[in-house]
Structures are given as structure tokens and as C-alpha cells.
Amino acid sequence: MSPVLRESEALSSHETPAPWLALIGLGEDGAVGLCREALAALNEAEIVFGGERHIALVGSVPGELRPWPQPFRNALPQILKERGRKVCVLATSDPFHYGIGNSISRAIPPEEMRIIPQLSSFSMACTRMRWPQEECALVSLHGRTLYRIVPHLQPEARILALSWDETTPRAVAELLTARGMGASRITVMESLGGPQERIRECRADAFALDDIVPLNLIAVEVAATHDSRILPLAPGLDEEWFAHDGQITKSEIRAITISALAPRGGELLWDVGAGSGSVAVEWCQRHLRNRAIAFEAKPERAERIRRNKLELGGLSVEVVGEAPAGFVGREAPDAVFIGGGLTEEGLFDAAWAALKPGGRLVANVVTIEGEAKLAALHAEHGGSLRRISIDRLAPVGGKHGWRPAMPVTQWRVEKP
């Protein structure tokens, strides 16, 4: 027998077993809209998992129908218990677009699954609106704060937003109107792709649509004026964007600080002595996957941070109490900003120890004692030091002059 034949036989004897799980995207037209492959998988399944809506859409099937458990986090263990049997999981349209596909694929190897998607709600909405999908902002408000739409509210933007329920379209209209964008057009698309599909539109400031079904998607054409409250895209937001008590890194210094921290996508920042949380908030605004932990001991300031991170985009900022005690057990950061408390015994050492190798640390101080601490740390660890001075025009009697703010000394260092 030739070596080629022996190798072929070896391969055939270790063939990958057929997938035991089929993940099927389901449209509002139910089983009627499924392709031949999806129908075959559904009819062959011994167990069919899905939401109550999914189960109602497919109707009677040969296998056992199992609605999702409550709470939903128990669903994956129940699916995994059936490994080896023929299992079908029903999802909404494209399971990998704000769907269950991501969590299932992290637990089940690719070779054990078949994925049979359908058009996503976003794709269908673009065809109804005649909008190029690549030019639209896509956001889910399902199970998420309404304020996630705020960063996308830019002049002439086209936004597609999955609703949480029937109340979401009106809430979006009220938000737009409150921010001076009441002339924006809102299109509410209900039960897309199904026999009960309905599409209606109106101005945000004249929203009067009623009897909206919970399963809906919103298309927004933003109409803004010079008076609209549009979130700027550059770092260094004016202080008026934040709730604060004066304990805030001023806008010009903050822009320089964010530049020094050099955020990259998916990174975690520790904002120590966070005050209003302005640095943590702007860090997270740089990329949708960025996260921050804000360490702030004073409860009233911690509450302001929660308000700021919500109203400026529903950002991933976790608020923790006192530092360095709060460092224990936290995920190691890619970058650390120390805006307050640098002279506290042990604070820098604990932050430096927690920082990932190659991570960046930036510290700002305004006192002589703080500068002395920075000088000692610079001598020990290297890095760069700079002093930043900002003068602002202010009235001087009946005239005007430059009023200097307290200079800020900034140290930036990378951990070897």
C-alpha cells in the first residue's frame, strides 16, 4: 500500500464528527422563510431551544421545544448538557449581529456547530430606507442605556437603532428634541420581514406614533443647527459637559493628558483620584471597546462620575471607592492616570505594580510636594516631565488681561 493511501486512510479514520448543534437565524416570517438547510436541521433536531417568540414562529416541530430559562445566563449550560444529541438553537435573523452567536461560539468549537443566518434587521432596514449600510451608525438600545445613541448624534448622521421595547422610539424622539435636534426624521420599522411589517415616520419634535409593537427598529436622520447639543469628537471637552464641583482636569490639560495616555482600542484605564471622571470618560470615548475604572473615595463625586459616563454615551466606566485599597483584585490596567493622591503613601507603588508591562502611567500635580514626588519618581523610573501653563482672558476693571491658571506638572512613563 502506498504512503499516500495509508495517509488517506489515517485521515478518514480521524474525521471530524458531524456538528451536533445548528444555530438558525429566524425572521418574522417564521419557518416559511427558512432555507432548505435550515428546515432540515430544524426537523432533525431532538431539542429546539429558543425564545417564546421564536418558538411561536416555528410552530410544531418533531423535536422537544425548550424556551430559554430565566435568568438567561442559565441557557448556555443547558445547551452544553445536550452535547452529542442533535440540538437546534433559534436566534433572531443574524445570530452574530447583537445576537446569541458570540456567547455560544466562545463555548462551542466551530467544528461542532452549523450557522445558518438570515438577513439582519439592520440589513433589511437599509433596503427599506435605501441607505448604504456602510454609511450608517448601527447601535443597539436593547438591554442598554438610551444614552448609547448620544455619540452618534452628529450633523446629517444616519442612525439605525434596535429598540428595547415599544417605548424606545418616543424616548429617542424626546432625547433628540431636548438636544436641539427636533427637526430630525424618525422612522419606526415594526416586525421587519414579517406579514405584520409596518413602517411609519415623523419629526422628532412632533412624535405622535402610537400602538408600536415591542419588536421595532428606529432609523434616524439627524437634523442639527448651531444651537444643537452635539458632542464634539476631539478630546478636551469643555468643563460644561461634565457635572463637577470644581475638581476636574481642565479641558486643555485633559486633551494633553489623553494624548499622553495614548489610548488604543480595547484597553483598560485606571483613573485614580477621578474627581468628575472626565479623563476616564474621554478615554472611553476614544474607542467603543475601551474601558475605565474610576477610583474616587467621595460618594458625591462618585455619583457625578456615574452621571457623566451615562449622559456622555453610556460608557464602560466602573466607579470604585478609595485607592489604593480599591486596587486589590482588579483587572490589570493598560494605562494609569493619577490625577490626585500621588503623595499618599503606597499609592504609586501599588499602581505601578498593577500596571501591565509596556503600559503607560501619567501623573499630573499642581503642588510643590507633588512636584518633589514626581522628581524622585522620574529619577528612579525615567520617563518625561513637562510643565503646562494655560492663561485665559479675564476682565481687569473695564479692560481685559491674561489670568494664568495654576501650572500643571506632568510625568509620563512606560513600564518596562
Quote the pLDDT of residue 304: 97
| Placement of cell 452529542 in the chain | 84
Q: Are 65 and 55 in contact (CB under 8 A)?
A: yes
Quote the pLDDT of residue 318: 98
The residue type at 213: V
Q: What is the pLDDT of residues 281-329, one digit of tens each?
A: 999 999 999 999 999 999 999 999 999 999 999 999 999 998 999 999 9
Q: Count of alpha carbons within 13 Å of 318, Cβ hemisphere only?
A: 13
Quote the pLDDT of residue 189: 98
Q: Please state the pTM of the whole predicted model.
A: 0.88
Query: Which of 304, 308, 344, 302 has the alpha carbon at shortest distance from 323?
Result: 344
Query: How large a percentage of the chain has pLDDT more than 90?
Result: 91
- Pairing type for strands 47-50 and 87-92 reads parallel
| Placement of cell 412632533 in the chain | 206
3-class SS of residue 111: helix
Quote the pLDDT of residue 184: 98
Q: Which residues of the chain have pLDDT under 70?
A: 1-17
Distance CA 284, CA 180 (A): 25
Phi-psi region of 147 (alpha: psi -120 to 50; beta: other; left: phi over 0): alpha
Q: What is the pLDDT of residues 360-404, one digit of tens each?
A: 999 999 999 999 999 999 999 999 999 999 999 999 999 999 999
Check residue 405 and report its DSSP letter. Answer: P
Quote the pLDDT of residue 98: 87
Quote the pLDDT of residue 255: 98
- Average pLDDT of the chain, as a whole number: 93
Quote the pLDDT of residue 12: 42
Distance CA 189, CA 338 (A): 47
The residue type at 187: T
Distance CA 292, CA 121 (A): 31
Q: Is the dihedral of CA 36, 41, 44, 48 positive or negative?
A: negative
The residue type at 62: P
